[in-house]
């Protein structure tokens, strides 16, 4: 099995793509690319059995309805927009609320945070992948939405304080802890890249989450949430430890 993990940024400079091959009781990172443009991403995904992308796949239903109504100058008097609590339905997807309930982590809002630029790029990539024949179902297609911080928390590893150039020592320690937890994963010559770039490390984590999704070991939406998840997207949160993925 081959999985691909993508840490998607608004621009190629900070976009990382990791490819992991899984065979029996071992796995190895066979490629890790930094500064990936859209063509690189599409090429990698087309060669994968499962791919995890760290980016929102859609927008909250309530936000989409609000924008459409605003464009038509139809006031939505049922919304209380004067407070943060009243605006919450516009900035949190159902999957964001499930992740918060499960882990205590609040994902960045696709409609109200800087990650909106990433989501726009992701939408373009998903459209290209669909044309290329890749299953981009927003719940459980060949490509799935992942969130490395939530997965790390679920695996009992540090999930905060490793991002940015000022946290290099924390990142090095996190890579070491991750490597210990999944000892059969061979980083080959790419471990140093993971220790020096949190984008590269998140791409590897995304590829490992993709493995969990391929094995059916991530949480899927309940029946009541399935329809909205197919519109808004769904974050795949692993329900097993790292050591069981081999």
d(CA 229, CA 58): 9
Q: 210: closest CA among 237, 177, 179, 178?
A: 237
d(CA 200, CA 232): 26
Q: 34: closest CA among 151, 205, 201, 167?
A: 201
pLDDT tens, residue order, the chain (246 aa): 999 999 999 999 999 999 999 998 999 999 999 999 999 999 999 999 999 999 999 999 999 999 999 888 886 767 788 888 889 999 999 999 999 999 999 999 999 998 999 999 999 999 999 999 999 999 999 999 999 999 999 999 999 999 999 999 999 999 999 999 999 999 999 999 999 999 999 999 999 999 999 999 999 999 999 999 999 999 999 999 999 999
Q: What pLDDT is recorded for position 77?
A: 66
d(CA 16, CA 118): 13
Give pTM, 2 decimals.
0.96
- Adjacent-strand bridge partners of 29: 20
The first and second tokens of residue 94, run together, are 């159902």
- Domains in the chain, ordered, with CATH? 2-58+96-240 (3.30.420.10), 60-92 (no CATH)
End-to-end alpha carbon distance in the chain: 11
Tell how strand 50-54 and strand 2-7 pair up: parallel
Category of 33 on φ-ψ map: left (φ > 0), alpha (ψ -120 to 50) or beta: beta
SS3 content of the chain, % helix, strand, coil (to 5): 50, 15, 35
């Amino acid at each position: 099995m081959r999985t691909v993990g993508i840490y998607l940024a608004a621009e190629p400079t900070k976009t990382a793509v990791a490819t992991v091959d899984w065979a029996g009781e071992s796995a190895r990172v066979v490629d890790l690319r930094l500064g990936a443009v859209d063509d690189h991403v599409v090429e990698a995904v087309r060669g994968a059995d499962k791919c995890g992308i760290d980016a929102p796949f859609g927008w909250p239903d309530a936000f989409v309805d609000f924008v459409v109504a605003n464009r038509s100058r139809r006031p939505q008097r049922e919304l209380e927009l004067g407070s943060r609590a009243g605006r919450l339905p516009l900035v949190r997807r159902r999957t964001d609320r499930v992740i918060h309930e499960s882990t205590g982590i609040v994902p960045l809002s696709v409609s109200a945070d800087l990650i909106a630029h990433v989501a726009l790029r992701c939408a373009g990539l998903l459209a290209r992948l669909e044309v290329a024949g890749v299953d981009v179902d927003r719940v459980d297609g060949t490509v799935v939405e992942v969130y490395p911080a939530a997965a790390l928390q679920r695996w009992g590893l540090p999930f905060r304080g490793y991002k940015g150039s000022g946290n290099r020592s924390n990142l090095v320690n996190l890579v070491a802890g991750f490597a210990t937890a999944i000892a059969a994963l061979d980083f080959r010559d790419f471990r140093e890249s993971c220790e020096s770039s949190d984008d590269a490390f998140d791409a590897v984590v995304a590829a490992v989450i993709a493995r969990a999704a391929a094995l059916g070991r991530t949480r899927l939406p309940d029946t009541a949430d399935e329809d909205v998840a197919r519109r808004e997207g769904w974050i795949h949160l692993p329900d097993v430890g790292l050591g069981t993925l081999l």
